[in-house]
């Protein structure tokens, strides 16, 4: 039985939210199930029918206006990580910290498609002094397809950075492995000094990993211990891979101390030199497609 239950109350481990002011959209389709919080247009769960959950969602995630949900797919926009000029600004921009509008929902034999929009207003202009149209299309089926479309409706050129910051569930971090970045140069941002290095064949996890791979448009694969995921992208020449490891995880109030063992973030990004500059009426689409590789 298929269905899109719009604006269902949130049920989560840390609290039960009968609060209609924090709605979750629940998609139950013959091919896949997913949950999307209106806050941040935040996909918090995606599971093809007959498969295990693809996304990691922290059991300690906070569901409150202004705070990004820890896990799922946070939308980092219109900048990645720290604001380039003003350290007072929220990390990863403001799209993930406010309520979006649901502007479309449809379903077919292939799955369900939902469209969201983030209004441009005086509050956003205080953070990002431009007029824009920001639309997010989420297609749920045998794949999870995410498309973030930015249109510059200002009269001046607008910088657009960010990432689709996907938390991918793994059985045990020490057995997770990323393929597809061999020989790609990256910026290692762990520690006080960023270093440029080159990736060896496989990326495995035995320490904090916080890397911006640049000049790469390649799809990558992740061996999760549950399944092998293929993570493809568009509109991005930089891929970010992150795991906070022990110390950083212990310092995060919305992540269990051992939560780092259960996810790898693989992000389609426009980071550092890959920030786009949109002329008036220009459009940029950042996309990511996540699928389970069939055996």
- Binding residues for ligand TA6, rule: CB under 6 A, are 68, 81, 91-92, 165, 210, 240, 242, 265, 267
- CA trace torsion 92, 93, 98, 104 (10° rounding): -90
DSSP 77: B
DSSP 155: S
Least separation, in Å, of the C-beta of 177 and ligand TA6?
19
Which residue number has the CB closest to ligand TA6? 242
267 belongs to the catalytic site: yes
User: Whose CA is closest to 115, among 91, 137, 100, 92?
Assistant: 137
Q: Which residue out of 83, 92, 267, 284 is catalytically annotated? A: 267
208 belongs to the catalytic site: no
User: Taking phi first (over 0 means left), then psi (-120 to 50 degrees means alpha), and beta for anything else, what does residue 287 get?
Assistant: beta
Q: Which residue out of 83, 165, 227, 284 is catalytically annotated? A: 165
Nearer of residues 26 and 243 to ligand TA6, judged by Cβ: 243
Least separation, in Å, of the C-beta of 274 and ligand TA6?
14
On the CB side of 79, CA atoms within 13 Å amount to: 18
Least separation, in Å, of the C-beta of 265 and ligand TA6?
6
Nearer of residues 54 and 264 to ligand TA6, judged by Cβ: 264
3-class SS at 11?
strand
Angle at 69 between CA 179 and CA 191, to 5 degrees: 55
Nearer of residues 52 and 65 to ligand TA6, judged by Cβ: 65
Whether the CB-CB separation of 64 and 40 falls below 8 Å is answered with no
Nearer of residues 242 and 260 to ligand TA6, judged by Cβ: 242
DSSP 246: H
User: Whose CA is closest to 286, among 104, 163, 131?
Assistant: 163
Q: What is the DSSP string of 25-58?
A: EEEE-SSEEEEEETBTTEEEEEEETTS---B-B-
- Measured between alpha carbons, how far is 205 from 175 in angstroms, rounded to an integer? 8
Least separation, in Å, of the C-beta of 291 and ligand TA6?
21
Nearer of residues 34 and 255 to ligand TA6, judged by Cβ: 255
Whether the CB-CB separation of 41 and 100 falls below 8 Å is answered with yes
Least separation, in Å, of the C-beta of 286 and ligand TA6?
14
Q: Which residues contact 8 (CB under 8 A, 6 or more apart)?
A: 23, 24, 25, 26
Nearer of residues 34 and 75 to ligand TA6, judged by Cβ: 75
Least separation, in Å, of the C-beta of 81 and ligand TA6?
4
Residue numbers annotated as active site: 165, 267
């Amino acid at each position: 039985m298929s269905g899109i239950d719009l604006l269902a109350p949130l049920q989560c481990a840390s609290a039960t939210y009968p609060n209609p002011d924090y709605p979750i959209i629940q998609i139950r389709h013959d091919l896949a199930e997913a949950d999307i919080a209106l806050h941040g247009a935040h996909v918090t769960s995606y599971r093809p029918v007959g498969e295990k959950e693809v996304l990691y969602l922290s059991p300690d995630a906070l569901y409150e206006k202004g705070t990004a949900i820890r896990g799922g797919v946070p939308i980092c926009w219109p900048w990645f990580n720290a604001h380039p000029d003003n350290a007072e600004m929220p990390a990863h921009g403001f799209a993930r910290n406010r309520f979006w509008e649901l502007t479309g929902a449809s379903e077919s034999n292939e799955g369900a498609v939902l469209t969201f929009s983030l209004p441009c207003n005086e509050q956003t202009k205080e953070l990002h002094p431009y007029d824009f149209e920001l639309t997010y299309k989420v297609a749920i089926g045998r794949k999870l397809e995410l498309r973030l479309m930015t249109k510059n409706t200002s009269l001046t050129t607008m910088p657009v950075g960010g990432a689709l910051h996907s938390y991918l569930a793994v059985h045990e971090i020490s057995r997770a492995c990323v393929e597809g970045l061999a020989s790609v140069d990256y910026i290692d941002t762990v520690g006080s000094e960023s270093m440029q290095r080159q990736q060896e064949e496989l990326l495995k996890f035995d320490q904090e990993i916080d890397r911006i791979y640049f000049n790469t448009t390649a799809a990558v694969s992740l061996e999760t211990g549950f399944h092998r995921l293929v993570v493809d992208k568009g509109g991005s020449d930089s891929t970010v891979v992150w795991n906070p490891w022990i110390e950083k995880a212990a310092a995060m109030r919305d992540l269990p101390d051992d939560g780092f063992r259960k996810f790898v973030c693989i992000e389609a990004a426009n980071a550092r030199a890959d920030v786009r500059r949109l002329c008036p009426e220009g459009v940029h689409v950042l996309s990511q497609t996540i699928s389970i590789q069939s055996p």
